Structure 1
């Protein structure tokens, strides 16, 4: 499988402060101190009930390939900010850390560590920006795509967004994320090539305009592409010209005994709900009830829901700018925070304290367990200390950090560890998972594990993030010590 980064080195994709701090740690002889950083986010986009984790594969590729070339070192030297010994060290740099992560495609929730990096201090510091760039972007688009696919209610959805994406990478990786989120295909050819995902597309208005008259344009297209004959009918007049001409072409194909695998029309403007209903009547009356109606034009989950609620007759949606840019909520907000530092061979927890309660971090090395009821539905996640034994074979007491005074227990439940080792000593532990397999994993979770109440758009049920008593007590102790300083 082709990899985008085979053709370029993105190791310099970092904020300057990562290098200034790394240089300082190096001069303080702290560069080989072992530390741990967590990646987590604080709020679901669009006030949703969950998010979809995407971008892990690109993070692992980046970490395996990370190195600094001669021109990189020369540029850094020209800034007159860094010690020569540090730059010499960078010239032979490779990442040697361990990475623990949720499986890509996992349904995720705020404030739980979806990735934990355990590495030497300088190594862990230098990877922050690229790691967050990939996770923030792809998780955002995958989550938006999931909402759009849910709104489609079983109808096909294609990503049409490349020309509205913020740049090439946003289009290509956005298409990958969209497929992970559940869309059926993309119009972005390079994404199809790189990630082995289905591509689709037919014609633009320029095809019709070039040939002078609509019927001629449709006939020529049908002759070249009889098995994928989707005709764009809104160049001039949908109901008085586009549909009658399309019906003429479909009749001619039938008379010539041309059996198309896929045929129909697309509309890209106007009142899509009204037009689709009128078009369906016209196609049915002409004897083409199996002709598909595809709609596009600034669609998202809200407009799609509205069109279908009005009785819109739609077989497939082409969704562009509002998917590929996640226009309604363009920031995912994942962060990378220090959670532990090695002291005398022991990883000691660290905590960030803030006047904003939602910015207080969860300290230390930890495990995240997903808790399932007897029906296999996931109704909570729980944070535990890394070395804790969690035994749910009997009633298990846990702490709700929002209501710690209440005595709560899990009963008749099972638990699954969410993080697994995905990179050891800088080498990945498992092969790449195709985007289509990740998409199937997303679909499985939402169909079989995640409550429907968490998936609704309005006021979704909140998925609980609980803590073991030992973990909660450790966090409270650290906060108490900080308060006394």
Structure 2
């Protein structure tokens, strides 16, 4: 993850300089919360705490960043010097990741000297909002899919590499079985799933040869893509290499459908496989899926055993942002409230979700 101290908004630094000049160093209490639920969301799922704690524990200004600040002409030398030793020394109260929550419940509370608590606002919102958004969408997909296999397929269309990687983590946290994103497997132990691309089939002169080559190369992860040309014809063609490879101990685990009427193709492919003595082969579907599409397929009785879900979940396409905020609740031992219309923070600052845990960071 990118944890540079300058990955923040300019106004954080301009405020910090003023605090420094005025000697404002008392303890501040900030809370991150969601003001209201998005449409078609009855709940949200907290996610992103691990990345927030990593950011806070490693927070510092590098020599390169300090040098750039000195040369940009906006900040005083004494203030820049004071940033050299800045570390996060406060405390964090937070809901455990995976906790279901509702509007106006503080998901995370920072208790720290004012400039530390202020500086981290932008990155904390960035990390918590995004993973919470994806985890909440993924939880809806899991509800729709019931006990079917669910795999995150969204890296290639995520809004940047970090978004794709964190989407894999957030969806797994919310109940997905795994991801196609390899780095998420290495970094967090998220189970990895994958099949083949249409280009693999296209590089061969015929599908039967492509299937046989792939199955021999990946005998323990044998899901083949059968909709490159004609889905039902490919399903029938698969019967022959399956029989040839059985004596070698290679069994096809699943076929993948990625285009067309997934429900209709699934029914036809299921019949073909069953007739060809391949009743144990499962059907896996992907292609522009979300909770609504999956629910409709299952309601119609489509014989699909698992789903790859990407773009619509990783971008939370129907609701791509949360109305969330990180607001000051207390400074120097006194409650502080924002009272503007529609954005007031008039709750009791001591209110705390019972599911919270306290976790210290820094010194």
Q: TM-score, normalised by structure 1?
A: 0.73
Indicate yes or no: 2:170 matched with 1:186. no
Give the CA RMSD over aligned residues. 1.4
Provide the residue aligned with 1:355 in structure 2: 341
Q: 1:15 aligns with which of 3, 9, 12?
A: 9
Q: 1:88 aligns with which of 62, 81, 96?
A: 81
Provide the residue aligned with 1:302 in structure 2: 292
Contact 1:100 1:422 in 2 (8 A): yes
Indicate yes or no: 2:302 matched with 1:316. no
CA distance in 2, matches of 1:191, 1:332: 24
Q: TM-score, normalised by structure 2?
A: 0.96
Indicate yes or no: 2:357 matched with 1:420. yes
Provide the residue aligned with 1:438 in structure 2: none
The Cα of 1:321 is off from its aligned counterpart by 0.7
1:203 aligned counterpart, secondary structure = coil
The Cα of 1:43 is off from its aligned counterpart by 2.4
Contact 2:215 2:250 in 1 (8 A): no
Question: Residue by residue, what CA displacement relative to the aligned partner does 1:331-352 show, whole Å, maximum 9, x if unpaired?
Answer: 023210011111xxxx211111
CA distance in 2, matches of 1:12, 1:331: 23
Q: 1:336-347 alignment to 2 at 5 Å?
A: 336-342=326-332, 347=333
CA distance in 2, matches of 1:121, 1:341: 8
The Cα of 1:229 is off from its aligned counterpart by 1.6
Provide the residue aligned with 1:258 in structure 2: 249
Contact 2:216 2:250 in 1 (8 A): no
The Cα of 1:367 is off from its aligned counterpart by 3.1
CA distance in 2, matches of 1:354, 1:93: 32
CA distance in 2, matches of 1:423, 1:170: 27
Provide the residue aligned with 2:323 in structure 1: 333
CA distance in 1, matches of 2:209, 2:164: 33
Provide the residue aligned with 2:138 in structure 1: 145
Q: 1:33 aligns with which of 26, 42, 58?
A: 26
1:100 aligned counterpart, secondary structure = strand
Mind listing any 5+ residue stretches in structure 1 that lack a counterpart? Answer: 370-416, 428-485
Contact 1:60 1:423 in 2 (8 A): no
CA distance in 1, matches of 2:220, 2:184: 23
Indicate yes or no: 2:239 matched with 1:243. no
Provide the residue aligned with 1:481 in structure 2: none
Mind listing any 5+ residue stretches in structure 2 that lack a counterpart? Answer: none
1:367 aligned counterpart, secondary structure = coil
CA distance in 2, matches of 1:150, 1:251: 37
Determine which structure has greater relative contact order: mean sequence separation of CA pairs < 8 Å that are 6+ residues apart, divided by chain length.
2
Q: 1:64 aligns with which of 57, 62, 85?
A: 57
Indicate yes or no: 2:98 matched with 1:105. yes
Question: Residue by residue, what CA displacement relative to the aligned partner does 1:358-401 show, whole Å, maximum 9, x if unpaired?
Answer: x22134531324xxxxxxxxxxxxxxxxxxxxxxxxxxxxxxxx
CA distance in 2, matches of 1:13, 1:216: 50
1:368 aligned counterpart, secondary structure = coil
CA distance in 1, matches of 2:157, 2:328: 36
Contact 1:218 1:245 in 2 (8 A): no
Contact 1:99 1:118 in 2 (8 A): yes
Contact 1:54 1:138 in 2 (8 A): yes
CA distance in 1, matches of 2:99, 2:127: 16
Provide the residue aligned with 1:177 in structure 2: 170
Question: Residue by residue, what CA displacement relative to the aligned partner does 1:434-466 show, whole Å, maximum 9, x if unpaired?
Answer: xxxxxxxxxxxxxxxxxxxxxxxxxxxxxxxxx
Indicate yes or no: 2:152 matched with 1:166. no
The Cα of 1:270 is off from its aligned counterpart by 0.4
Contact 1:349 1:363 in 2 (8 A): no
Provide the residue aligned with 1:466 in structure 2: none
The Cα of 1:299 is off from its aligned counterpart by 0.3
Indicate yes or no: 2:203 matched with 1:219. no
The alignment of Structure 1 onto Structure 2 pairs a total of residues equal to 363
Provide the residue aligned with 2:193 in structure 1: 200
The Cα of 1:257 is off from its aligned counterpart by 5.3
Provide the residue aligned with 1:132 in structure 2: 125
